[in-house]
Amino acid sequence: MKKSKIIIISVFTVVFVLVLIFLVFFPALPLYFQMKRECPTINRTVEEFDFTGDISEDFKEITSCGIILKVPSDMYRKNPDSSVEIYVCGKEKNYNTVVMFYESSDVSEYNASELSYDELKSFCSYINEDVPQSLYEFQKLNLSLNTDDFNMRDKELAETFLRLAVSKEFLVGQDKCSHVYSFENNCAEGFIYEYETPKNYTEYMIEIYREGKYSTEYSVLIRAENPETAKQIIESIEITEE
C-alpha cells in the first residue's frame, strides 16, 4: 500500500513538473487549446475563384447600388415599389436565380475594435505584414491567419492572435459558410463568401471595393440553382461609382 502511494505521488510529481515546464517555455499553450476549441475554421484559407468560362451572350445588364452586372435575360425586379432591389427568374416562390443588391457602405472610419493599434502593429511586425489601414485590409489579414501564426512562447502575441481568430470565425465560421474566394476583377477587389442553402442552391455574398480605394464597400447576394449561372453573374460584376 505504501509502495502504491509512493508510485502515485511520483507520477503526479512528474506530471506536475512537465506541466510546469510547458507553462514556463510555452506560456501560451492554454490559449492555443482555447483557440482550437473556439475557432474550428482557423485554417480555412481564401481560395481562388475558379470560373474560367464565358458569360452567356443572352445575359442582360442591370445596375443598382453602385454595381453593374449581367444576369439571365428573363430576370425581372420582384419588388419595384421597395427600396430593396431584388431580381428573380423562375416560378413564383421557387425562383431558380436571385440577385439582391445592398446599399453601399461608408467604411472610411475603419477601426479594428478587437485590438489597440499597438497590439495590431506588434502582431503584424511578428508575421511580417503591414498594419491594415482599411476594413478590407484588416479582413484580408484576418482571413490569411492560420495556426502557423500562433506564437507559443509569447503570451501577448498569442492573446492578440486569439482575438483575431475569433474575429475570423465570425467571417467564415458562421451561417454555414463553406468557402471564401478572393475577388479580383474589373478594377475591383474583395471577397466572395459561399454558403450552403436548404435547397442545395449555390449562394454567394460578394463584398468588394474599388481597387486601391477602400472607403466604400459594395455588396450583392447571388443565389442560383445552377452554380455556373451564379459564377457567370459574379464574373460580370463591376463597380460603377468612382
Rounded to 10 deg, the angle between the 155-172 and 135-144 helix axes is: 100
Burial readout 46-60 (b: 16 or more C-beta within 10 A, e: otherwise): beebebeeeebeebe
Average pLDDT over every residue of 153-177: 87
pLDDT at 18 exceeding the cut of 50: no
- Region class of 43: left (phi > 0), else alpha (psi between -120 and 50), else beta: alpha
pLDDT at 173 exceeding the cut of 90: no
Going by C-alpha positions, the residue among 61, 96, 97, 103 that lies closest to residue 82 is 103
Q: Which amino acid is residue 226, in one-letter code?
A: N
Q: Give pLDDT tens digits for 122-152.
A: 999 999 999 999 999 999 999 999 999 998 8
Average pLDDT over every residue of 146-174: 89
pLDDT for 20? 52
Going by C-alpha positions, the residue among 103, 104, 102, 88 that lies closest to residue 223 is 88
pTM for the model stands at: 0.85
In sequence order, which residues have a C-beta less than 8 Å from that of residue 215 and are 6 or more positions away?
106, 107, 108, 134
pLDDT for 102? 95
